[in-house]
Structure 1
Amino acid sequence: SQSAPASTNCLLGNFEESLLNGRIEPSGVVDGFTVDIGASGHFCPKHIALPVTAFFFSLSEDNAPSPYLGHVNLDGVGRRGYHIPKKGTVQVTLFNPNKAVVKMFVVVYDLADMPPNSRTFLRQRTLYMPVKGGPSDNKNAPVFLRYLIHLRFTSNKSGKVYLHTDVRLIFARDKLEFDSRVANYELRAFTEGPVNPQFSPKR
């Protein structure tokens, strides 16, 4: 999978981990967000619709909107989680309380080599970043995290693969516009997971 630039990882990594792991105290919760989860591959499991607990934060001194952290509980989905093909695509569509689409996450994955009774994860970031080689290419222009999805995968003793425990999301609360005279911007998605080892045994 394509990796985000190393400098970007350094800038965003601590912030992401702090949000995803609950180390930043939220200011409140917004009700009404939902997701539709589906997958495709050598079979297509039935789509499921689930509520999202959306936390918001006050992280900026100038009251600029900080992103939402969304949490989707998968504990009630099946006995082991949401059964998916070992190779294919996971699609998670996020809806706001007005039922409008906020973001459609499409994560391509290949877990054909995943051993039984193991686990791993994938994290896809969507960054708002300068267009390389554009007419106003500016290497010092900032990079903004707009969306993130964190998926956990597990396999049972027969090797079937499931999404399990939860899905975690980070999504922007504001519409970001940037002066094209400074830099031309585009949205780009990067999907990454653990390496060496890619899989770890279930506890």
Structure 2
Amino acid sequence: MGRRLKGARRLKLSPLRSLRKGPGLLSPPSASPVPTPAVSRTLLGNFEESLLRGRFAPSGHIEGFTAEIGASGSYCPQHVTLPVTVTFFDVSEQNAPAPFLGIVDLNPLGRKGYSVPKVGTVQVTLFNPNQTVVKMFLVTFDFSDMPAAHMTFLRHRLFLVPVGEEGNANPTHRLLCYLLHLRFRSSRSGRLSLHGDIRLLFSRRSLELDTGLPYELQAVTEAPHNPRYSPLP
């Protein structure tokens, strides 16, 4: 029986002029670079989606990242630890911190993926090659109404937003720090699982906030609408 998940904690940042990367975020001086073509101007409108879908050629790769996956709800599946394929990008044209893309392949767990309850919490903890925690993600979900043989996804983002604007922050005031993309599937018998892969975005540069204003982390989780679920192919 897997251990229960720790409760989520709200992180508040005192007034800062800069937020610098912690020990869990690595710069890649030892990674082997590969040639990178210029970023297409047509992708500027959907930078995040383009990264997640692999539309940018990576500048290099870093080995040694791992992710521990767990869940809780009506039952607690055994935690598993899997390697994370991490690539980084040169996207200076985007005027954004150069990101890491991490992909956790769930296929080694078998064709059924990672079984989870229909209502509960998924925990994904990302570790760097030194086995230091980069980020622990806690994402709650309720798919009690998902029909059998259907699929959907959740996209969980963590933004830095000015204190006092948590509920309705201007998008230009929000700074994306982390992103977690989870894909869910129900079997023909109605059993729910994570399947395919888990994708993460996180920054490899210091994030400079030169406003002098207090910021805090805001979590936003989104799912498809109309339809919420799609039939399995």
- TM-score, normalised by the number of residues in structure 1: 0.86
SS in 2 for 1:17: helix
Superposed displacement of residue 78, structure 1: 2.8
Counterpart selection for 2:215 from 185, 189, 200: 185
Structure 1 residues 113 and 140, CA gap change in structure 2 (3 angstroms):
closer
Q: Which amino acid in 1 is paired with 2:186?
A: S
Structure 1 residues 144 and 133, CA gap change in structure 2 (3 angstroms):
closer
Structure 1 residues 118 and 64, CA gap change in structure 2 (3 angstroms):
closer
**Structure 1, 140-149 or 98-107: larger mean CA deviation:** 140-149
Structure 1 residues 62 and 152, CA gap change in structure 2 (3 angstroms):
closer
Q: Which amino acid in 2 is paired with 1:164?
A: H
Contact 1:154 / 1:164 at 8 angstroms: preserved in 2? Answer: yes
**Which structure has more RCO (C-alpha within 8 Å, separation ≥ 6)?**
2
User: Which residue does the alignment assign to 2:127?
Assistant: 95
Distance 1:133 1:82 in 2: 37
1:154 paired with 2:185, answer yes
Counterpart selection for 2:201 from 136, 158, 170: 170
Superposed displacement of residue 107, structure 1: 0.4
User: Which residue does the alignment assign to 1:71?
Assistant: 103
Q: What is the CA deviation profile of residues 95-150 of structure 1, one whole-angstrom value per residue up to 9, with x for unaligned ones?
A: 0111000000000000000000000000000011222269xxx9696321110000
Q: Which amino acid in 2 is paired with 1:193?
A: A
Q: What is the CA deviation profile of residues 14-56 of structure 1, one whole-angstrom value per residue up to 9, with x for unaligned ones?
A: 1110000011111011101100000000000000000001110
Counterpart selection for 1:142 from 151, 164, 173: 173
User: Which residue does the alignment assign to 1:122?
Assistant: 154
User: Which residue does the alignment assign to 2:69?
Assistant: 37
Identity %: 56
Could you list the runs of 4 or more consecutive aligned residues of structure 1 that deviate by over 4 angstroms after TM superposition? 61-65, 138-141
- Structure that is richer in strand per residue: 1
User: Which residue does the alignment assign to 2:40?
Assistant: none
Superposed displacement of residue 172, structure 1: 1.3
Structure 1 residues 80 and 141, CA gap change in structure 2 (3 angstroms):
closer
Aligned residue-pair number = 188
Q: Which amino acid in 1 is paired with 2:224?
A: P
Distance 1:64 1:149 in 2: 18
Query: RMSD of the alignment, in Å?
Result: 2.3
Q: Which amino acid in 1 is paired with 2:203?
A: A
Q: Which amino acid in 2 is paired with 1:60?
A: S
Gaps of 5+ in 2: 1-43
User: Which residue does the alignment assign to 2:140?
Assistant: 108
Gaps of 5+ in 1: 1-11
Superposed displacement of residue 173, structure 1: 1.1
- TM-score, normalised by the number of residues in structure 2: 0.75
